[in-house]
Chain A
Amino acid sequence: MSTTTAVVRKNTYFDSVSLMSVSTKANALDGVEQAFTAMGTEMNKGVLDNLGLLTEELRAAESGDLMVVLVAEDGADTDALLAEIEGLLTRKAPASADGGQVTYRTVTSAAEGVPGANLAVIAVNGAYAAREARKALESGLHVMMFSDNVAVEDEIALKQLAHEKGLFMMGPDCGTAIVNNVALCFGNKVRPGTIGIVAASGTGSQEVSVRVHALGGGVSQLIGTGGRDLSEQVGGIMMVDGIRALAADPATDVIVLVSKPPAPSVEKKVLAEVAAAGKPVVVWFIDGSEEAVTAAGGHFAAGSLQAAQQAVELAGVAPAPTEDLDAAAAADAVVARLADGQKYVRGLFCGGTLCDETMYAVRDAGLDVFSNIQKNADFRLPAGSASRGHTFLDFGDDDFTNGRPHPMIDPALRIERIVEEAKDPEVAALVMDFVLGFGSHEDPVGTTLPAIEEGQRIAREAGRHLEVVAYVLGTDLDTPSVAAQTAALRAAGVTVTLSSTETGQFAREIAKKAQA
């Protein structure tokens, strides 16, 4: 049997909306069959009468009296429930948690409402990204567009609009920028300095920035362009504007350009800007040629490390001493431990440019390399297919990321692949990268080590030595630091290389010697 309790608090006023709200909450309390808080008006007493709850005491209540009626479930503690309802009546709303901060719903309103807003980071689904970017540009904001899967026509229109307005349109598919010493999306904590970078490649520019830092230099700005900027269609609009902005920036002394080789017409346009910059410009076009760069008065870099070294030197910084690996000697030591039939290097990368640099180093030794990002169709491996020969996979490429987070955030696919490759008796070495910094996984080495150890165990049990080579892209200022991640790898018997360039050299030597 349920029990009904009625309380009349004389001369106690609450407004009807608050009381309805309290009633609704009271009805949700455990043990309450029905609860009713209302002023003693004729209308409310009529409702109670209809429900058969109007006691004599309630009938005597006046419109200035508060009525609390509780129908409690059998066995419920009536006094405790009444106290809870009392608590609901006296509850003070907590002070607004956000201190009255405004939540904006659109780029346009935020641009209008936030004084000093100057850049929009756009990371929405590609289907919506162009529209958001246009609104940002129309509101006078620079744009960094992390989103990919944006039509090239949209990219061109956005970059033209930005150019007309003198704004940056970094991206689409721009993963890295450092603006006023703030790293955006994927970026590392590096020392402020006088070296400005304009890059069409995310991890390529991250690598240059961390090498500059390791050599004692610092970065003024790192402007991303998106990977398609230097294509024939887009025509390098953002790279040209980026060069001009850094040329005009009094805080920048040296400019570094990072890109895959541009379309020929675009290369010409970019190199004309190099010639006109009025500042030293280091050009690292991955797999690019020296002649044109030198002719334009630029400083040619064959690799990421060289690009950083030249930039630091040109900036007048005495390069900090760094360790070097004797790649040939180290490779001899590795090859000595290999069993018969262990011939191939398998590269499993998160960073596209890091994959490129190592892959090209192996290819330049005259070896065949297969990859999901090979330009030559004869050597291209689609994402789902098994490795063959020397294989280099970029897990950050679209065919792997389709519908998944980037492997720098979630390396699950690569982790599976490590174990798979370890089972292959033809594999001599696994080469991989770990990218630290803002945006990346909080402990990429820690989450991958179990798979590395399992791979080593599988090889060992089959009587093979599996060489695991890893490069950690990061600085001593990153969290976790490059030192901590390196130590964890070394403890597991992994050979840690100290730059992307060195990773390529070591992989090349192993590949050459193992296949010989």
Chain B
Amino acid sequence: MSTENTEPTPAAALFGSDLSVVNVGLAMFDEDIKAQHAQVTTLDWTPPGGGNPDAARALNALEASPELTARIDAANAEAVERIMSARPMLVGFGRALDVVPGMTPTTILHSGPPITWDRMNGPMKGAVTGALVFEGLAKDLDEAAEVAASGQITFRPCHEANAVGSMAGVTSASMYVHIVRNETHGNTAYTNLSEQMAKILRMGANDLSVVDRLIWMRDVFGPMLKEAVEFTGPIDLRLLLSQAIHMGDECHNRNGAGTLLLFQALAPGMLRSSFTTEQKKEVFDFVASSDYFSGPTWMAVAKAALDAADGVENSTVVTTMARNGVEFGIRVAGLPGQWFTGPAQKVVGPMFAGYKPEDSGLDIGDSAITETYGFGGFAMSAAPAIVALVGGTVAEAMGYTRDMGEITTAQNPNVTIPALDFQGLPTGIDVRKVLDTGILPIINTAIAHKDAGIGMIGAGITHPPAEAFTKAATALADAFGGSSS
């Protein structure tokens, strides 16, 4: 029956080698197998979708046939190819009113999925009222609250205007924004400028010092950056991102290297701008006052790349993760324009002295676009300096990146992590894999005080609600097979 030179059957191969067990479900078997000197790998197993029957049903529908799986896999491969091949270039800065599509003098962009004024949380209301005062649409914060509630203001998610906004994401007409063009696919993304300090509009602070800073940013900082890029020409941001990650940033909560690199690229242009030396010094001091200067820039990089994958038919790759402080919303490449939401989560991590966990606002901001692309929390292993955010050991940081590899589609060869032997960023979160593994994306983020008017009080990590992925999977199953129910 068997002839020479044939491969052993799998059964013969098993009998002929050392037993190495993958143990799924019962830890007691781990000890028994170890006691018999056999190798055993016990999984840290969780049921798909966290045990939610809707999630399991949707997942089964998405795996209904090998043909469907192949179709989705091919679509996802295309989606991640678009994300990874996107080449976001900083091509300028401009006033939101002048450059952001659909912007009007009474439009306020905000972070996360759509939300009405009455449902906004403290920090977002603080930011909205501060912005209305800044725009001259209200004389003070009290009047601003009335204006906001009056129906005269158009509230829109940044994400629906090709933009992203950190924390409250509040972007009004006169604010200067980055203009980041994806040279590969031709789309453009926008994002606000960093306000640097902790007591800032996007964190919900809105007193006179905050508004005065916004005015200076509008009159000096923004226009100087605009002129600078006119001198330097387009700046290849993916290249800078890649360098920053090699230098120990994860480019969400740690931006020291990225800020130096970006400033290095912009400084010659700023020096040649039409502003006075005193103003240039103010700007240089302002940039030096916080490593966060380049934080929004990397968000725009991610946004420009991910928007290129929006609308890839049949794809289950996540193109947006964004929070408005009340809800966490995701969007998926194969279902353009639809939000799938669940409640915004708590952020756990170290806090500034004088504040306690109960002071924290819930997770907020579009900055999770960085994790959606594959850096931020996904690249914790690149930034051992901030492992305190995730519990404290470098091994844990490595583990986070490895876990994210389990829920993503590919590794981005253009942006790599030295400590993991130059593995590429885990890229293309797959809704199916999130539910299958029970692993939720990890997000590094800041913590804003829950009340309006105070600002940033800490930083830490959080996760999206599983519910958002279950809803997305259900909609995908309906769209692809119609057999999820």
Residues of A within 8 A of B (CB): 15, 17-18, 20-21, 23-24, 27, 34-38, 43, 47, 51, 69, 93, 96, 98, 100, 102-107, 109-111, 114, 116-125, 127-128, 131-132, 136, 140-142, 146-147, 165-168, 179-185, 189, 221, 241, 244-245, 248-249, 251, 438-439
- CA separation between A128 and B350, bound complex, in Å? 37
* Contact partner, B395, options A43, A47, A96, A181, Cβ 8 Å: A96
CB of B64 closer than 8 Å to a CB of A? no
Query: Which of chain B's residues 353-398 have a Cβ closer than 8 Å to chain A?
Result: 353-354, 356, 385-386, 388-389, 392-393, 395, 398
- In the complex, which residue of chain A has the Cβ closest to the Cβ of B9? A166
- CA separation between A249 and B26, bound complex, in Å? 30
- CA separation between A182 and B14, bound complex, in Å? 12
Query: Which of chain B's residues 14-35 have a Cβ closer than 8 Å to chain A?
Result: 14-15, 17-26, 28-29, 32-33, 35
- Is chain A's binding surface mostly helix, strand, loop or mixed? mixed
* A54 CB to nearest chain B CB (Å): 12
Of the listed residues B14, B399, B436, the one surrounded by the most CB atoms of chain A closer than 10 A to its CB is B14
Q: A102-B402, A110-B43, A168-B10 are in contact. List 17 more A-B contacts (CB 8 A).
A: A17-B385, A20-B458, A23-B351, A23-B353, A24-B458, A27-B353, A27-B356, A38-B353, A116-B39, A117-B21, A119-B14, A121-B21, A121-B24, A122-B24, A128-B48, A147-B25, A248-B9
* A197 CB to nearest chain B CB (Å): 14
CB of B437 closer than 8 Å to a CB of A? yes
With known contacts A184-B33, A248-B9, A439-B32, A132–B24 Cβ distance under 8 A: yes
Complex A-B: 13 CB contacts under 8 Å: A20-B350, A23-B353, A43-B289, A105-B439, A107-B24, A117-B22, A125-B25, A142-B14, A166-B9, A241-B11, A244-B11, A245-B11, A439-B32
Residues of A within 8 A of B356 (CB): 27
Residues of B within 8 A of A23 (CB): 350-353
Residues of A within 8 A of B352 (CB): 20, 23, 47
With known contacts A51-B354, A180-B18, A183-B36, A21–B392 Cβ distance under 8 A: yes
Residues of A within 8 A of B67 (CB): none
B14 and A179: CB pair below 8 A? yes
- CA separation between A32 and B442, bound complex, in Å? 32
Residues of B within 8 A of A168 (CB): 10-11, 14
* Smallest CB-CB A-B distances: 6 pairs: A36-B353, A20-B350, A123-B25, A21-B388, A124-B25, A245-B11
Query: Which of chain B's residues 403-422 have a Cβ closer than 8 Å to chain A?
Result: 403, 406
- In the complex, which residue of chain A has the Cβ closest to the Cβ of B59? A131
A110 and B19: CB pair below 8 A? no
- In the complex, which residue of chain B has the Cβ closest to the Cβ of A28? B356
* B407 CB to nearest chain A CB (Å): 9
- CA separation between A168 and B60, bound complex, in Å? 24
- CA separation between A36 and B1, bound complex, in Å? 77
B36 and A182: CB pair below 8 A? yes
- In the complex, which residue of chain A has the Cβ closest to the Cβ of B35? A438
* A25 CB to nearest chain B CB (Å): 8
Residues of A within 8 A of B388 (CB): 17-18, 20-21
Residues of B within 8 A of A24 (CB): 350-351, 458
A439 and B28: CB pair below 8 A? yes
Residues of A within 8 A of B351 (CB): 20, 23-24
* A159 CB to nearest chain B CB (Å): 14
* Contact partner, B25, options A36, A114, A117, A122, Cβ 8 Å: A122
- CA separation between A100 and B395, bound complex, in Å? 6
Residues of A within 8 A of B11 (CB): 142, 166-168, 241, 244-245, 248-249
With known contacts A24-B351, A93-B392, A119–B403 Cβ distance under 8 A: no
- CA separation between A93 and B387, bound complex, in Å? 11
Residues of A within 8 A of B311 (CB): none
* Contact partner, A116, options B18, B289, B398, Cβ 8 Å: B18
